[in-house]
Structure formats: C-alpha cells, structure tokens
C-alpha cells in the first residue's frame, strides 16, 4: 500500500485516498480478528492443558 505523501493528513487526503486507506484498514482488522479468534479457540486451550498436565501430572483426581 502506498503511503500518503510526507506531511499529508486526513484533512489533505482525497476521497479516493481516504477510501483506499479505509478499505486497507478494514481488511487488516478482518484478518486480525480471524487470527485472534483462531488463537483463543484452538491454540490456548491446548497450551493450557499442556501446562496443567506438566504441573499436576497425568494421574489427577478431581473428586
């Protein structure tokens, strides 16, 4: 993605530049949200289970 010229602000961006920047941010946010969801749902539970077993051993009684 091309960066706006040096010293350009949101006030000096054209409508086309602003639209392109907004679409770029939307794609970034969409991808970031999917990645975070994947990590929270798939990776962290497995990691927590590994840490729990490492700390308490395989033979664990809960009652």
**H-helix or E-strand spanning residue 36:** helix 15-38
Threshold 0.95, pTM exceeds:
no
> Would you list the domain boundaries of the chain?
24-54
Positions of the chain with pLDDT under 70: 1-10, 60, 62-63
The pLDDT of residue 13: 87
Give 5's DSSP letter: P
């Amino acid at each position: 993605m091309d960066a706006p010229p040096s010293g350009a602000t949101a006030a000096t961006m054209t409508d086309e530049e602003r639209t392109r920047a907004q679409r770029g941010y939307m794609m970034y946010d969409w991808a970031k949200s999917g990645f975070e969801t994947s990590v929270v749902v798939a990776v962290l539970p497995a990691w927590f289970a590994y840490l729990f077993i490492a700390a308490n051993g395989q033979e664990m009684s809960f009652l």
